[in-house]
Homo-oligomer: A and B are copies of this chain.
Amino acid sequence: MAGNCTVNYEGRAASKLTWGERVLIIKADGSVLIHRRSGYEPVNWQPPKCQFRAGLEDGKVLSISAIRQEPKESLKLLFDNVTAIMSLTLTDEGEFAMHVTEEQMKRAIMLDPSLVEPGLKLISEETKMGDSGFTDVYAEDAQGRLVVIEIKRNAASREAALQLNRYVETLRKRVNRPVRGILTAPELRSGTSTLLAKLGYDFKVVSPEKCFQILKPRTDARLTEFLR
């Protein structure tokens, strides 16, 4: 539906959008999107399972409310003019598949090291470390300690923890400063957590999906609009 409207959101925070022409999308699952003429992000939205109320106010303003109970929040639109309405029944059994390689996950972590830990600074990638092979990413943490990051695309096994250990041990022989090891993966296989803890290394969940979001560039158009 397209028309001239104003939008008020009230929930755990609140927002107010003054009058202007926008596109309102209501999906069958009860999710709601309000799009302005620019930017790929909606100015307001609600997740699925909203309940809706519609009515006329003063006999001339169309009111549409999308309400959720848990948490309690409501999005209320008032339209004084409706330009167009379209109703669609979409048949869609398509499958969506992402392709993110371990190499691309490494690139995502290099683009945004805070995926692993805030304050982390990248030093280099794929540092050749003697007999123990290659490490994935080599960084420095907020306290100035060296950090070896081992990246796995799938659930990480004890073998990954031992591989990280070889990298860290090799590095410790070479430098005269503390060296940490961090294993990143979407999850850990059975026993890996215990072994990692015993070796004194950290684990951080980094999934291919999270990396996809970093690799797929997003501009903060909406947020900067807030601040204009």
- Among B37, B97, B117, the residue within 8 A (CB) of A90 is B37
Give the residues from 39 to 98 in chain A that come closer than 8 angstroms, CB to CB, to chain B. Answer: 39-40, 42-43, 45-48, 68, 71, 73, 83-84, 86, 88, 90-98
- Give every chain B residue within 8 A of A48 (Cβ-Cβ): 38-40, 219, 221
Give the residues from 2 to 23 in chain A that come closer than 8 angstroms, CB to CB, to chain B. Answer: 2, 6, 9, 11-23
Interface size class of A (residues with CB under 8 A): 35 or more
| Interface contact A12-B95, CB-CB below 8 Å | no
Given A22-B90, A36-B92, A88-B84, answer yes or no on A12-B107 (Cβ-Cβ < 8 Å). yes
Cα A21 to Cα B93 in complex, Å, equals 9
Q: Give A18's nearest chain B residue, CB to CB.
A: B94
- Give every chain B residue within 8 A of A35 (Cβ-Cβ): 25, 27, 33
Query: In the complex, how many angstroms separate the beta carbon of A218 from the nearest chain B beta carbon?
Result: 6
- Give every chain B residue within 8 A of A93 (Cβ-Cβ): 20
Q: Give A225's nearest chain B residue, CB to CB.
A: B96
- Give every chain B residue within 8 A of A23 (Cβ-Cβ): 25, 88, 90
- Is the CB of A100 closer than 8 A to any CB of chain B? yes
- Is the CB of A32 closer than 8 A to any CB of chain B? yes
Q: Give A83's nearest chain B residue, CB to CB.
A: B88
- Is the CB of A198 closer than 8 A to any CB of chain B? no
- Give every chain B residue within 8 A of A28 (Cβ-Cβ): 37-38
Q: Which 3 A-B pairs have the closest CB atoms?
A: A20-B92, A20-B94, A12-B215
| Additional pairs, 5, CB under 8 Å, beyond known A32-B40, A209-B223 | A2-B86, A20-B92, A29-B39, A48-B221, A96-B226
Seen from chain A, the residues whose Cβ lies within 8 Å of a Cβ on chain B are 2, 6, 9, 11-23, 25, 27-29, 31-33, 35-40, 42-43, 45-48, 68, 71, 73, 83-84, 86, 88, 90-100, 104, 107, 117-118, 142, 202, 204, 209, 211-212, 215-219, 221, 223, 225-227
A-B contact pairs, 6 of them (CB 8 A): A28-B38, A33-B40, A40-B42, A47-B217, A47-B221, A84-B88
